[in-house]
Amino acid sequence: MAMTGFEKLFVNHQKKGDRNIEIVRNRLNSLNIQNIHDVLEIGCGIGTLSAFLSSEYGMSIYGTDFDPKQIRIARELYGENDHLHFRVEDAANLTFEDASFDLVVSQDVFHHIAAWPQAICEIARVLRLEGHFIWVDMVFPSVITKLFKPLVKAYGLYTFDEIWFEFWDNGFEERVHERQIHGPFAYHHFVLQKACSITQS
């Protein structure tokens, strides 16, 4: 779901972009960067991380977001070239071909996606075998998901066990996992690897 103007005040701030870059830079340290050429960012917002990955590492990036206004700002701020494209996409219904990317990055996006299990399935589809998925977001206590799921239809509400099951069910194996606490919610950093292809029935 697209963010409100109020949410964008915080999310589109330069400090948030700097923090995103720092987190992903640290996570990339666990990977062999030489093998990463084609990258998809899900929910790129105003594109700060995508632009950084393209300029710093020479990776070929698609920064994608559901919200056309965010994509418009990303294009204005960073422009586009052979290695950097911004595109409106729904994470739960990606238009990319199967096995198009070596790395998918999603930071603070899944709690905005009502159809988050479908988004994991789509990410597994567009990743190449042995490709990586950097996932950073909060998870919710089960009491919160039980109480609010019937009421909150437009957001992603999931427990740790629920999201972990979907990763596993879509052929992902955990390479790095770090749990941090931010207020009442646990915040998780995952580096996952697509270990096998799942044939969709």
Ligand X SMILES: C[S@@+](CC[C@H](N)C(=O)[O-])C[C@H]1O[C@@H](n2cnc3c(N)ncnc32)[C@H](O)[C@@H]1O
- Contacting residue, 25, 90, 100, 145, with ligand X by CB under 6 A: 90
Residues 14-33 that bind ligand X (CB under 6 A): 16, 20
Residues 54-73 that bind ligand X (CB under 6 A): 65-67, 70
Q: Does residue 131 bind ligand X (CB under 6 A)?
A: no
> Cβ(104)–Cβ(133) under 8 Å?
yes
Q: Give the C-alpha separation, 104 to 10, whole Å.
A: 24
Kindly report the number of other CB atoms within 10 A of residue 49's CB atom. 25
> Cβ(43)–Cβ(64) under 8 Å?
yes
Q: Least distance to ligand X from the beta carbon of 124, Å?
A: 16
- Contacting residue, 28, 91, 103, 120, with ligand X by CB under 6 A: 91
Residues 132-191 that bind ligand X (CB under 6 A): none
Three-state SS sequence of 142-194: HHHHHHHCCCCCCCCCCCHHHHHHHHHHCCEEEEEEEEEEECCEEEEEEEEEE
Q: Least distance to ligand X from the beta carbon of 88, Å?
A: 9
Taking every pair of C-alpha atoms in the chain, what is the biggest distance, in angstroms? Answer: 47
| Number of residues counted as binding ligand X (CB under 6 A) | 22
Q: Least distance to ligand X from the beta carbon of 196, Å?
A: 25
Q: Give the C-alpha separation, 16 to 91, whole Å.
A: 21
Q: Does residue 113 bind ligand X (CB under 6 A)?
A: yes
Q: Does residue 87 bind ligand X (CB under 6 A)?
A: no
Q: Site residues (CB under 6 A) for ligand X?
A: 1-3, 11, 16, 20, 42-45, 65-67, 70, 90-92, 107-109, 112-113
